[in-house]
Amino acid sequence: MLSRIIYTSTISNDITPKEIEKILTKAQSNNDKKDITGMLYFSRNKFLQCLEGGRVSINETYHTILNDTRHSNIILLNYEEISQRVFSNWSMAYVPESSLSAPINLKYSNSTIFNPSEMSSESIYKMMLELKDVLTSVN
């Protein structure tokens, strides 16, 4: 069964840009092995991640994330069965906060500052789709 989860978390205070790069590289390698696709958005001290793949693989990966001390305040924003992947081209695309993301944040929330706890799951998903389009057009 093909599934998608979207979650947010707060990074630990001691995480550096190099550590984020390591997290991304490891996620891409692990996801490739498990046929998981998705996207990671990083803004200020928040991660927003979408994972797509088989139900068991997605749940195993999410369980690993829940036990990762580099994250805290992990909140599952959406879990659903899907008929097709949206991020099928990437084992884990990465979108860092930039001048391009602020207007997208404003479009789907009440501020240019990313705060997923104040957004609906539908808004978050649509924001991720738009970030994907920006990422695709830049590359």
| Predicted pLDDT at 123 | 95
Answer yes or no: are the C-beta atoms of 105 and 118 closer than 8 Å: no
Residues 123, 136, 38, CA angle at the centre, nearest 5°?
A: 60
SS3 content of the chain, % helix, strand, coil (to 5): 40, 30, 30
| Predicted pLDDT at 107 | 94
For residue 14, give Cα distances in angstroms to 11, 54, 68, 93: 8, 33, 14, 23
- Tracing tokens 């799951």 back to the chain, one arrives at 121
> What global pTM score does this model have?
0.91
Q: Across the 139 residues of the chain, what is the mean pLDDT of every consecutive 10-residue run?
A: 96 82 90 95 90 96 92 93 95 87 91 88 94 81
| Predicted pLDDT at 4 | 97
Q: Residues 83, 131, 64, 72: is their CA dihedral positive or negative?
A: negative
| Predicted pLDDT at 52 | 97
Asked: is 2-138 a CATH 3.30.70.100 domain? The reply is yes
Q: How far apart are CA 51 and CA 62, in angstroms?
A: 9
| Predicted pLDDT at 101 | 86
